Amino acid sequence: MVKKLFTYIFIYTLLVGCDIQDPISSNDICESNCYLEIGAPSLQIDNNGYYHMEWLDGYQQTFSTLDANTGSNQIRKVYWGSESGIEYGGDFVSCVNPASYTNKGTAHTVVGVWEEMVGDTILIYAGYYDHCSNEHKDVIGIIVDNEI
């Protein structure tokens, strides 16, 4: 269900940008040098490529920021998603904010985990379409630790 929702969000998104290799006309092939790389600069990464987030005892949630580098100098809307979250008031609440915009090629968002997620590996997805309708997406894994 989340995967379908993620796909539908991208279908309805029209973004303009990325560096164009050649001027586009009706006879030219659209080219783009855009990409997407997600990172978590404030978290430690292990040898297997998973980030580690330390749960803070005594709090309702623990937060960290995530970055998405697009390779585009133009403003981009980046969509974020995760299948991890909690049910609150009968609704699913994701552990990651669903969208952000780039500034100088980088978008930022916040991931917030709850105590129920300690010991879990959370997958965070991000993506966007460039001006050539190429879909760019990436995923990272975050392990929620409680070492204290």
Average pLDDT, the chain: 85
Structural domain boundaries, residue 94: 2-145
Q: Tens digit of pLDDT for each residue in 76-128? A: 899 999 999 999 999 999 999 999 999 999 999 999 999 999 999 999 999 99
CA atoms of 24 and 35, how far apart (whole Å): 19
CATH of the domain at 69: 2.60.40.10
Report the number of distinct structural domains present in the chain: 1
Question: Whole-model pTM?
Answer: 0.79
Q: Which of the pair, 136 or 15, is modelled with greater confidence?
A: 136
CA atoms of 135 and 137, how far apart (whole Å): 7
